[in-house]
């Protein structure tokens, strides 16, 4: 191994500022090159000791001349001071999910649809890659320098984890320009992973320290990149593989394979075995080769990704709001193993549902040790006839969720009595009741297990978004009797938290401050955080928009609730039942008294003069470019009503891909049917005809 490059036999204290600047720039280039050779190309040219010596020289120069330190310096890989929170930022372009199937016939149909859409004679080629099982990330570069790293989040926005990704050795801090220049802007999609061998070493260390091991390499990687302290991220052996150019300015590509070549030139680590093929048969053969080698790989994959190679063709076929039409994932069959159930235990969830859980002898399924799996409900246990002590076959659905597939009859193996659900809640002792196949504890806010779940839900990102209130913290708060009811969360003091495992003065103060900040929040977030039956994010927003105050929602009767779009009799009954429960009402009074302000959504201006005011629209099937929520907002912005079922009273049925029975009924009734283009044109006509149009342009408003 040579000592390639400048010798750097320099005394940092002997350099002038100008000399130090030149040396720092040379060290940047040198260390970036050797990191790429080591982590990406597996072809190191200098020893670890020599690399460390040059690295320490750079650290010494940056310490002596702080102005020479920069975000793209190799010293950023060691991590920075802890952040108070992770900021949510928008992606450069949406990071869509993939349509997927385990059936090769679905791949053939995908191929047929594309060939039909693109026409006879189209030169269709597919680029193939393994479907990596890690944490998806967006890396953004400006003029060749990493400026932002963002988790996938909801696909439109995610958490800024730039400081953490700078510690991952295979992430270029500055693009390599030896082969091709850097573009003005580059957004790259990649996957942050932990190799199975590194994961096993990491878990062994946790166990040796008396800590709970992680369930899978994916969980470990996802947890690492969301640390508030990037120095903790740096301690894990993470890799980042880039596989997609999301956006680029300053250069152009005709094919995906051109983008892959550019990523390689710029210094990114790429997935192995990327291939370009012409036919569905070649795709299936590629899938079979990876499936055969799957157990020998040092990383987790759950299938392959199939994408149109021609970028212009991708533009022709387009995307739905959820996934591109030009790509799909061909998944592997779930891995299955055999083990023994030691005990069927009961887990009590946030909503009071008692779930039987199989506690099993640990068994490795696809590189992950599995020791428990949900059995869902008493009817599922009875259907499969699962009992304590049974030998069973298990699998990881989607290579993630453990499932008990079936009991295996073993000659000579005795059986225990059939499983029976308990009559009382194992967490609080309250008598349970049956609701269909479910078994439910009615002690809504008084049951410790339910309270723990409600605390986590209350503080979740799509509810009050309380930074630091995760499951581990919620368990500690309830177990130590620091929070005995939901409202008690707001009475916490930092001094009470400092003795808890994992807390110190700074983290305790930060959690108390985060809770206090959420005394003022959006009404819709508050409603969703309460865990009202049938009330998810969308219904919470609709309730907040319609009633404007928490008091009005609590007082609403059946007639008032069913007047809200999307709320029927069953939902109304569940909502009213929740508010009518005396024990729940007392808890809600206590929580509401802790809030300073519950902010309703902005008023929507009525479009009374619209020619479509009062007209009823039904949407069916996936629209080419509009998300269902966007289409609904457009219709409502011109005074129309959106309903869920087709009837003689329906004025327009808007039809997208795979419309189903609503389309058939609309044809039978002779209703007016529109595609997306016709719908948008109608909306524009109505907006232009209004004399009292809304202030916001509904055609440019972002989806909330």
Whether residue 428 contacts residue 447, with contact meaning beta carbons closer than 8 Å, is answered with yes
Q: So what CATH class is 12-69? A: mainly alpha
Confidence (pLDDT) at 701: 33
- The pLDDT tens digits of the residues spanning 327-338 come to 999 998 877 889
- Judged against a pLDDT cut of 90, whether residue 689 lies above it is answered with no
Percent of the chain with pLDDT over 90: 44
Query: Where does the pLDDT of residue 6 fall: very low under 50, low under 70, confident under 90, or very high at 90 and above?
Result: low
Over residues 377-401, mean pLDDT: 86
Whether residue 180 contacts residue 264, with contact meaning beta carbons closer than 8 Å, is answered with no
Confidence (pLDDT) at 29: 79
- Judged against a pLDDT cut of 50, whether residue 1 lies above it is answered with no
Strand partners, 88: 159
268 versus 8: which is more confidently predicted? 268
Average pLDDT, the chain: 85
Confidence (pLDDT) at 81: 55
| C-alpha to C-alpha distance for 189 and 242, rounded to whole angstroms | 6
- Judged against a pLDDT cut of 70, whether residue 694 lies above it is answered with no
How would you class 679 by CB atoms within 10 Å of its CB: exposed for 0-12, middle for 13-18, buried for 19 or more? buried
Query: Where does the pLDDT of residue 420 fall: very low under 50, low under 70, confident under 90, or very high at 90 and above?
Result: very high
- Write out the catalytic residue numbers: 131
- The pLDDT tens digits of the residues spanning 190-244 come to 999 999 888 888 888 877 877 777 767 887 888 888 887 888 888 888 999 999 9
Q: So what CATH class is 523-599? A: mainly alpha
Task: Report the largest interatomic distance among the alpha carbons of the chain, rounded to a whole angstrom.
Answer: 89
Confidence (pLDDT) at 60: 80
Place of tokens 């990881």: 396
Whether CATH 3.30.470.30 fits 100-331: yes
Confidence (pLDDT) at 544: 92
| C-alpha to C-alpha distance for 700 and 698, rounded to whole angstroms | 6
- The pLDDT tens digits of the residues spanning 429-487 come to 999 999 999 999 999 888 999 999 999 999 988 899 998 898 889 999 999 999 999 99
- Judged against a pLDDT cut of 60, whether residue 693 lies above it is answered with no
- The pLDDT tens digits of the residues spanning 493-505 come to 999 999 888 888 9
Task: Identify each DSSP E strand in 36-111 by its residue range.
Answer: 88-90, 100-101
Place of tokens 């807390």: 503
Q: Which helix (H) or strand (E) holds 230?
A: helix 230-234
255 versus 634: which is more confidently predicted? 255
Confidence (pLDDT) at 602: 79
- The pLDDT tens digits of the residues spanning 23-73 come to 888 887 778 777 667 656 666 777 767 777 787 788 788 777 888 777 777
- The pLDDT tens digits of the residues spanning 517-560 come to 999 999 999 999 999 988 888 789 889 989 999 999 999 998 89
Confidence (pLDDT) at 348: 92
- Under DSSP, the state recorded for 553 is H
Question: Which pTM value belongs to this model?
Answer: 0.55
For the chain, count helices (H), then strands (E). Answer: 24, 24
Kindly state the tokens that stand for 114. Answer: 């594309």
- Given its phi and psi angles, is residue 151 left (phi above 0), alpha (psi -120 to 50 degrees) or beta? beta
Write down the architecture of domain 616-689 according to CATH.
3-Layer(aba) Sandwich (3.40)
4 versus 448: which is more confidently predicted? 448
Over residues 288-310, mean pLDDT: 90
Over residues 249-277, mean pLDDT: 94
Q: How far is CA 697 from CA 156, 627, 690, 691, 693, in A?
A: 20, 17, 13, 14, 9
Percent of the chain with pLDDT over 70: 91
Whether residue 413 contacts residue 403, with contact meaning beta carbons closer than 8 Å, is answered with no
| C-alpha to C-alpha distance for 443 and 428, rounded to whole angstroms | 8
| C-alpha to C-alpha distance for 657 and 663, rounded to whole angstroms | 11
Confidence (pLDDT) at 396: 76
**Do the domains 616-689 and 12-69 match in fold?**
no
DSSP 418-441: PP---SB-TTT-PBPEEETTEEE-
| C-alpha to C-alpha distance for 484 and 445, rounded to whole angstroms | 9
| Every domain of the chain and the residues it spans | 12-69, 100-331, 448-518, 523-599, 616-689
Decide which of 3.30.2310.20, 3.90.330.10, 1.10.8.50, 1.10.150.20 is the CATH code for 448-518: 1.10.150.20
Over residues 670-679, mean pLDDT: 90
495 versus 9: which is more confidently predicted? 495
Place of tokens 């030691």: 342
Kindly state the tokens that stand for 424. Answer: 């009382």
Of the candidate ranges 168-177, 278-287, 590-599, 628-637, the one whose mean pLDDT is the lowest: 628-637
| C-alpha to C-alpha distance for 448 and 452, rounded to whole angstroms | 6
Kindly state the tokens that stand for 308. Answer: 């149109």
């Amino acid at each position: 191994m040579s000592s390639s490059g400048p010798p750097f036999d320099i005394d940092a204290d002997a350099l002038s500022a100008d000399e130090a600047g030149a040396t720092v720039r040379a060290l940047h280039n040198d260390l970036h090159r050797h990191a790429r050779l080591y982590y990406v190309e597996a072809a190191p040219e200098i020893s670890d000791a020599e690399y460390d010596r040059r690295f320490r020289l750079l650290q010494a120069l940056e310490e002596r001349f702080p102005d020479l330190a920069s975000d793209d310096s190799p010293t950023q890989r060691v991590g920075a001071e802890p952040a108070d929170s992770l900021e949510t930022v928008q992606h450069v372009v949406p990071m869509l999910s993939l349509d997927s199937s385990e059936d090769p016939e679905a791949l053939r149909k995908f191929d047929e649809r594309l060939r039909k859409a693109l026409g006879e004679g189209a030169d269709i080629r597919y680029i193939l890659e393994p479907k990596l099982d890690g944490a998806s990330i967006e890396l953004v570069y400006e003029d060749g320098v990493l400026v932002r790293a963002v988790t996938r989040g909801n696909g439109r926005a995610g958490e800024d984890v730039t400081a953490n990704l700078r510690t991952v050795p295979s992430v270029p801090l500055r693009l390599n320009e030896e082969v091709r220049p850097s573009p003005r802007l580059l957004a790259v999609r990649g996957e942050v992973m932990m190799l199975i061998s590194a994961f096993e070493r990491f878990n062994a260390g946790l166990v040796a320290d008396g800590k709970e091991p992680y369930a899978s390499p994916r969980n470990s990687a996802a947890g690492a990149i969301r640390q508030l302290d990037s120095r903790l991220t740096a301690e894990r052996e993470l890799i980042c593989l880039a596989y997609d150019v999301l956006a680029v300015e300053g250069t152009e590509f005709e094919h995906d394979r051109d983008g892959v070549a550019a990523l390689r030139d710029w210094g990114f680590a790429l997935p192995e075995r990327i291939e370009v093929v012409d036919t569905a048969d070649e795709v299936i053969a590629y899938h079979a080769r990876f499936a055969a080698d799957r157990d020998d790989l040092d990383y987790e994959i759950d299938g392959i990704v199939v994408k149109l190679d021609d970028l212009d063709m991708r533009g022709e076929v387009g995307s739905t709001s959820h996934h591109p039409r030009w790509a799909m994932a061909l998944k592997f069959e779930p891995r299955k193993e055999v083990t023994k159930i030691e005990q069927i235990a009961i887990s009590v969830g946030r909503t009071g549902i008692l779930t039987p859980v199989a506690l099993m002898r640990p068994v490795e399924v696809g590189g992950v040790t599995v020791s428990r799996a949900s059995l869902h409900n008493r009817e599922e246990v009875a259907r499969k006839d699962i009992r304590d002590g049974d030998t069973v076959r298990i699998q990881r659905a989607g290579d993630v969720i453990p499932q008990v597939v079936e009991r295996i009859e073993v000659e000579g193996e005795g059986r225990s009595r059939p499983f029976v659900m308990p009559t009382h809640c194992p967490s609080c002792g309250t008598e349970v009741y049956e609701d269909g196949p479910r078994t439910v504890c009615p002690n809504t806010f008084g049951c410790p297990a339910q309270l723990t779940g409600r605390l986590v839900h209350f503080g979740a990102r799509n509810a009050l978004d309380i930074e630091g209130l995760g499951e581990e913290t919620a368990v500690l708060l309830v177990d130590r009797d620091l929070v005995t009811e939901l409202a008690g969360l707001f009475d916490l003091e930092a001094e009470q938290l400092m003795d808890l495992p994992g807390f110190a003065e700074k983290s305790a103060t930060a959690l108390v401050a985060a809770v206090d900040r959420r005394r003022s929040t959006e009404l819709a977030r508050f409603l969703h955080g309460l865990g009202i039956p049938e009330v998810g994010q969308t219904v919470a927003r609709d309730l907040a928009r319609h009633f404007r105050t928490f008091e009005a929602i609590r007082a609403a009767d059946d007639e008032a609730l069913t007047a809200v779009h999307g709320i029927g009799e069953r939902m109304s009954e569940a909502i009213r039942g929740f508010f009518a429960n005396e024990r729940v009402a007392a808890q809600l009074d206590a929580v509401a008294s802790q809030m300073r302000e519950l902010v309703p959504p902005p008023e929507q201006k009525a479009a009374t003069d619209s020619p479509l005011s009062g007209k009823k629209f039904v949407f069916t099937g996936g629209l080419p470019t509009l998300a269902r929520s966007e289409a609904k907002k457009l219709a409502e912005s011109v005074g129309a009503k959106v309903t869920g079922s087709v009837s003689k009273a329906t004025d327009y049925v808007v039809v997208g891909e795979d419309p189903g029975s609503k389309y058939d009924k609309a044809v039978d009734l002779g209703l007016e049917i529109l595609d997306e283009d016709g719908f948008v044109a109608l909306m524009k006509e109505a907006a232009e005809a209004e004399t009292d149009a809304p202030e916001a342009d509904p055609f440019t408003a972002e989806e909330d």
